[in-house]
A and B are shown apart, each in its own frame.
Chain A
Amino acid sequence: NAGVTQTPKFRILKIGQSMTLQCTQDMNHNYMYWYRQDPGMGLKLIYYSVGAGITDKGEVPNGYNVSRSTTEDFPLRLELAAPSQTSVYFCASSYSAVSYEQYFGPGTRLTVT
């Protein structure tokens, strides 16, 4: 099993550009999550999904959109990139919610200039 994979690993965007961060898991997990990690701030939840077709906002959803058309994929869309979105983005998945381990992808380092 590859676990949770993310692409790209690195990306530089200009202000106002858009992009999609890809996330795929092969563990048949229902729950998937997107986090951003800013220096000294820990990880903050952007969006999450409890199954195909179901998504909900996390703590910091502004400026992002998600979709979940399949169990495996959970892409994160950045529209009109801003410097405040410079961060490391992590995708994660879990079998269920409470008490279950979350499995993380390797991360995408995004710089907006």
Chain B
Amino acid sequence: AQRVTQPEKLLSVFKGAPVELKCNYSYSGSPELFWYVQYSRQRLQLLLRHISRESIKGFTADLNKGETSFHLKKPFAQEEDSAMYYCALTGNTGKLIFGQGTTLQVKP
């Protein structure tokens, strides 16, 4: 079965600390993986996708097929990074499957 697991409901860090939001997936084929973000009072939006191998707002994510993980990382958290983060995957059907989401709280 296709599944995305984000084990932490809430991650709280201080400004300047490193951040790692965990995402594990279950999929039998080759998935496409994404991180979506929802800032307060804003709509859900794409943060990054694994095929782009890009860094957005200082965030990176590497697909580890051996560990079936796609963790989101940032070396130095900023207060404006506080938001809800969703990991998601699509398979060959194109339908997005979301994880439960992790709230990142960056304290001053």
Q: Is B46 an interface residue (CB 8 A)?
A: yes
- CB proximity of B89 to chain A, nearest CB, Å: 10
- Given A90-B44, A107-B43, also A101-B101 (CB < 8 A): no
- State which of A14-22, A35-43, A62-70, A79-87 sits at the interface with chain B: A35-43
Contact of B86 with A105 in the complex, beta carbons under 8 Å:
no
Assess the A41–B100 pair: CB atoms within 8 A: yes
Interface positions of A from 95 to 113, Cβ below 8 Å from B: 96-99, 101-107
Given contacts A41-B100, A42-B101, A43-B86, contact A96 B94 (CB under 8 A): yes
Residues of chain A within 8 A (CB-CB) of B57 are none
Contact check, A106 vs B43: say whether CB atoms are below 8 A apart. yes
In the complex, whether B49 has a CB less than 8 A from a CB of chain A is yes
**Of B6, B32, B95, which is within 8 A of A48 by CB?**
B95
Chain B residues lying within 8 Å of A43, measured Cβ to Cβ, are 44, 86, 96, 98
CA distance in complex: A92, B92 (Å) = 19
- Chain A residues whose C-beta falls within 8 Å of the C-beta of B96 in the assembled complex: 33, 43, 45, 102
In the complex, how many angstroms separate the beta carbon of A22 from the nearest chain B beta carbon?
A: 16
B28 close to chain A: CB less than 8 A? no
> Residues of B contacting A106 with CB < 8 Å?
43
User: Inside 8 A of B44's CB, which chain A residues have their CB?
Assistant: 43, 90, 92, 104
Report A48 CB to chain B, min CB distance, Å.
7
Residues of B within 8 A of A90 (CB): 43-44
Given contact pairs A40-B9, A58-B95, A107-B43, A97 touches B100 in the complex (Cβ within 8 A): no
Q: A42-B86, A96-B94 are in contact. Are A101 and B9 (CB under 8 A)?
A: no
Interface residue ranges, B against A (CB under 8 Å): 4, 6, 9, 32, 34, 43-46, 49, 51, 86, 90-101
A-B pairs, top 7 by smallest CB distance, nearest first, are: A97-B94, A42-B98, A104-B44, A43-B98, A42-B100, A101-B46, A98-B94
